[in-house]
Amino acid sequence: MKASIDIINCKDLSAAQLENLRRLSVSKDQAEFGGTFGETLDAGLSDRSGVVQAYCFLNEDAPIGIVALKRAPATADWVPQNAVSLHGFKIDVGWQGKGLGKTTFRLAVGAAAQKWPDAQQLVLAVDADNSTALAVYRSFGMADSGPVYSGRIGKEHRLSMPIGPSDVHQALA
């Protein structure tokens, strides 16, 4: 049976869904690079300016993953002003390996394009050793900025892709 995955702003989750989302986990290495579920959730819920939004991936109303989307001034200095940056994208360890990377990433791109229709690109940094994530991002046509950078935790790739209103329709298709 194929999972039916939806995306919702974390501010719209019920108290029970928020509690369940906080209980999700990833490997120690994933948490070190992308933070815990609670850290990503708190970043989205605590922002009052609207430039940080946390979204939850749901399977039949049960949280299975999270992503944070940011606009300037909440982004790193290397992120262009016309971009949305993606952070803390993670799927619970119990749901990993089930082919959900592309589905959830497509939903995240659609959420970014819908929330900020003036944005022209989506950017992210990914651990240079995370070949699974790199494969998903590259399958969407994300371009590598070139060299591997020394990031906050270790070596990272910086990727980008154009986004716009048409990406909302593609994400929902």
Residue 105: count of CB within 10 angstroms of its CB: 23
Paired with 155 in beta bridges are 150
Average pLDDT value for residue range 105-115: 94
Average pLDDT value for residue range 153-160: 82
pLDDT at 111 (0 to 100): 95
Query: 2: exposed, middle or buried (C-beta count within 10 Å: 0-12, 13-18, 19+)?
Result: exposed
pLDDT at 122 (0 to 100): 96
Measure the CA angle with vertex 119, ends 117 and 125; round to 5°. 130
pLDDT at 121 (0 to 100): 95
Task: Point out the least confidently predicted range of 7-11, 65-69, 133-137.
Answer: 133-137
pLDDT at 2 (0 to 100): 58
Distance CA 10, CA 67 (A): 10
pLDDT at 101 (0 to 100): 87
Element (H, E) at 25: none
pLDDT at 152 (0 to 100): 61
Say which amino acid occupies 46.
S
Domains of the chain: 5-172 (3.40.630.30)
Contacts of residue 61, Cβ cutoff 8 Å, sequence gap at least 6? 17
Handedness of CA 91, 47, 127, 110 (dihedral sign): positive
Taking 70 as the threshold, does the pLDDT of residue 151 lie above it? Answer: no
Average pLDDT value for residue range 71-77: 93
Average pLDDT value for residue range 4-33: 93
Average pLDDT value for residue range 126-149: 84
Taking 70 as the threshold, does the pLDDT of residue 154 lie above it? Answer: no
pLDDT in tens, 30-58: 887 778 999 999 999 999 999 999 999 99
The DSSP letter of residue 120 is -
